[in-house]
Structure 1
Amino acid sequence: MKTNKLLFILFTAFSGWCGTINAQTSGLEKRMKDADPKVIGTRIVNKYLVTPHTRFGNPRAEKAPNYVTYPDACTWLGALWFSKAIKDEDMQQQLKNRFEPLFTTEKNMLPRMVHVDYNVVGAVPLEIYMQKLGDRKYFELGMKYADTQWEVPADAKPEEKAYADQGYSWQTRVWIDDMFMITTIQSQAYLATGDRKYIDRAAAEMAMYLEKIQRPNGLFYHAPTAPFFWARGNGWMAAGMSRLLSVLPEDNPNRSAIMEAYKKMMTTLLENQDADGMWHQLIDEPASYKETSGTAMFTYAMLVGVKHGWLDKKAYVPAAMKGWLALVSYINIDDEVTNVCEGTNIKNDKNHYMNRKQITGDLHAHAPLLWCATELLTE
């Protein structure tokens, strides 16, 4: 299906939001053109290709990174998914070439295999390998990141060993970020090998997290000691569940519980979406600023759900497309997404979240925007 045709179908599905289609044909056509996911995604990937490794996603950080951090990995992965979707072999090769120095001159930039935010980097070489861009060394490196997440080191802390004894990753923290980081590398390992142990343990990990930290309304506090519904933190959960469910076999025993939790979350997100398509820095606080990384992750989660038939199209197609259109409006002339919340530590203070700086070009937003573009371009 051609992009314009796909977008027209999606746009007409939410005509109640943008007005009568016949009365706004010229405006609709312009919005379709401006929001073309192939054009938007290409701009963001090309920006990424000329951006040096960042320090936790911020291209303007004062300090240079000591290793490849997770926002870069998530953007890299999204760029690979996108380049495959549009069948741009030159773009795919450039993304592969960017990784090659990590085996030689930049080997010191590979993160140690000791933390959820580090191990997710392994998803990138596995994707390069699965796209037949890289040789066996890409597979072996990616699998080391997946396997060491369950191999308990001798110096592991007692609480880490306790999780491992229950069959979970020793890297378990029960932080909301984890449920994209852990499930993504394990899902990639499953796709690369066909071995069910990787996807099954990712699903068991997700089910445990959901039981421990999902609130009755389907959302997640940043932490028990920070009872606030921070958008990006919730975005990692939304994206993690939707990505995991899209890969998880139907007969997995945890699938129904994860699906129920995912739908509960989507219901509350739908209720809290702003009229223009955005979500706020604190999801349930309209006075907080409109934030792009969380909005991109929620939009992605809804696009995945609509595509797979998990969500009602009448309700969620308009929401997803409003989210996409809103996101596009936050891309500046330098191909950077604006209004991205800076890195946020846990603090039991509402103002801590309300007053977080808004960064331009931060990869925390570029990554999920690429995931959205890919979903819009694939059947």
Structure 2
Amino acid sequence: MKKSLLLVLLLFVVFGLNAKSKEYDLKHWPNGKSPIEIGTRIAEKFLKTAHSKYGNTHPATPPTQITYPDVCTWLGGMWFAEVTQNDALFNRFEGRFTPLFDGEANLLPKPNHVDNNVFGSVPLELYLKTKQQKYLDLGLKYADTQWTLPEDAKSEQKDFASQGYSWQTRIWIDDMFMITAVQAQAYRATGDLKYIDRAAKEMVLYLDKIQLANGLFYHSPDAHFSWGRGNGWMAVGMAEILRILPNDNPNRNRIMEGYHKMMAALLKYQETDGMWRQIIDDPEAWKETSGTAMFTYAMITGVKNGWLDQKTYGTAARNGWLALTNYINANDELTEVCEGTNIQNDRNHYMQRKRIVGDLHGQAPLLWCATALLR
């Protein structure tokens, strides 16, 4: 009788611990919700879809250039192909790119804006895989021109450049992916510290200027609302820099401090179903998927790298991922994605943004999350 009782107690403890551990488990998933399944669906969807117009995959008129939401999805697709060791899938992403050297060369963006220069991230990723010089040359063109002051630069741009920052600096939180991503990619491709040093210095500028006491960020100094996806760009930008920034970089501790402060704030505002809102700290705002995906990615990356407590943030990341999978429709499109959003110091501007289906602003970070979960 005593042995039977001990066995029951032992089983209770074991199963109790297993049930508890599932709350922050980032490896095991219900059927249909695993990162390999979701990532494959979203990657295939992108490859079967024409170039978008700032994320809109069904524009009224064809795009005149490759825009940054495509870049982010393209990059995520290649990351996913690499982490799953699927060379055939990677080759299809490369095949989508090669026409840009000839028949579609008119779609290459001009290197004159943060949203355009991030394009260089894609050829640099292709170079890392293939070692083809043409990809390196094209990617570095976008990384280098981001720090090459044009002749017609405005006074504010000259001021930033004179202090060692990109002339494309705007102090919009979106920039902290657009600027840092291409510089980080250039560092990965060349090993030249100047690129990652630039990215880190730029990130600290933004942290010092616009991170709020509560850990979140306004969209800009002129728009006093903590817009979800805008904060998402910042969260992902910090996670990506920290993933590759050398330990002896003088700005690493400052970026890690800002990252921890933001993650703690996001934890506070995550809804019980795993989602975050269009305006993060506004309980009347609608639940939005692209920002949720970006925050989830930043937390997955933090847990995987040991920067964040596994139980606390692993639970938040798992809840975020599971919530997002509920917003994917039968056409492999993420729903409830905020449309492209400009700066306005008006709550209604953010509250009344259109909720788009299948917009690449949402498809991209969903791929990033799938990749991060498999790393």
TM-score, structure 2 as length reference: 0.93
Q: What amino acid maps onto 1:131 in structure 2?
A: K
- Counterpart position of 1:314: 311
**Unpaired runs of 5+ in structure 1?**
1-8, 18-28
- Counterpart position of 2:69: 71
Instruction: Within 5 Å, give how 1:172-321 maps onto structure 2.
Output: 172-321=169-318
In the alignment, structure 1 residue 165 sits paired with structure 2 residue 162: yes
Q: Does the 8 Å contact 1:297/1:368 carry over to 2?
A: yes
Deviations 1:149-202 (A, max 9, x none): 111111111111111100011111111000001111000000000000000111
- Counterpart position of 1:103: 101
C-alpha distance in 1 between matches for 2:24 and 2:89: 38
C-alpha distance in 2 between matches for 1:10 and 1:236: 35
Q: What amino acid maps onto 2:373 in structure 1?
A: L
C-alpha distance in 1 between matches for 2:74 and 2:269: 30
**Unpaired runs of 5+ in structure 2?**
1-16
The residue matched to 1:283 in structure 2 has which SS? coil
Q: What amino acid maps onto 1:242 in structure 2?
A: A
Q: How far off its partner does 1:13 sit?
A: 2.8
What is the root-mean-square deviation in Å for CA atoms of aligned residues?
1.7
C-alpha distance in 1 between matches for 2:146 and 2:223: 27
C-alpha distance in 1 between matches for 2:20 and 2:56: 37
- Counterpart position of 1:26: none
Number of residue pairs matched? 358
Q: How far off its partner does 1:63 sit?
A: 2.6
Q: Does the 8 Å contact 1:14/1:317 carry over to 2?
A: no
The residue matched to 1:111 in structure 2 has which SS? coil
Q: 1:184 to 1:112 in 2, by over 3 A?
A: same
- Counterpart position of 1:32: 30
Q: What amino acid maps onto 1:368 in structure 2?
A: P
Q: How far off its partner does 1:12 sit?
A: 5.2
Q: Does the 8 Å contact 2:226/2:279 carry over to 1?
A: yes
Identity of aligned residues (%): 59
Moved more, 345-354 or 307-316: 345-354
C-alpha distance in 2 between matches for 1:237 and 1:16: 24
Q: 1:16 to 1:365 in 2, by over 3 A?
A: closer
Q: Does the 8 Å contact 1:279/1:294 carry over to 2?
A: yes
Moved more, 110-119 or 219-228: 219-228
The residue matched to 1:32 in structure 2 has which SS? coil
- Counterpart position of 2:48: 50
Q: How far off its partner does 1:14 sit?
A: 4.6
Q: Does the 8 Å contact 1:10/1:321 carry over to 2?
A: no
C-alpha distance in 1 between matches for 2:21 and 2:267: 16
Q: 1:354 to 1:11 in 2, by over 3 A?
A: farther
Q: What amino acid maps onto 2:201 in structure 1?
A: A
Q: How far off its partner does 1:10 sit?
A: 10
Partner of residue 141 from structure 2, selected from 139, 144, 148: 144
Q: Does the 8 Å contact 2:274/2:320 carry over to 1?
A: yes
Q: What amino acid maps onto 2:243 in structure 1?
A: S
- Counterpart position of 2:23: 15
Q: What amino acid maps onto 1:15 in structure 2?
A: E
C-alpha distance in 2 between matches for 1:161 and 1:220: 25
C-alpha distance in 1 between matches for 2:19 and 2:185: 32
Q: Does the 8 Å contact 1:293/1:365 carry over to 2?
A: yes
C-alpha distance in 1 between matches for 2:290 and 2:284: 18
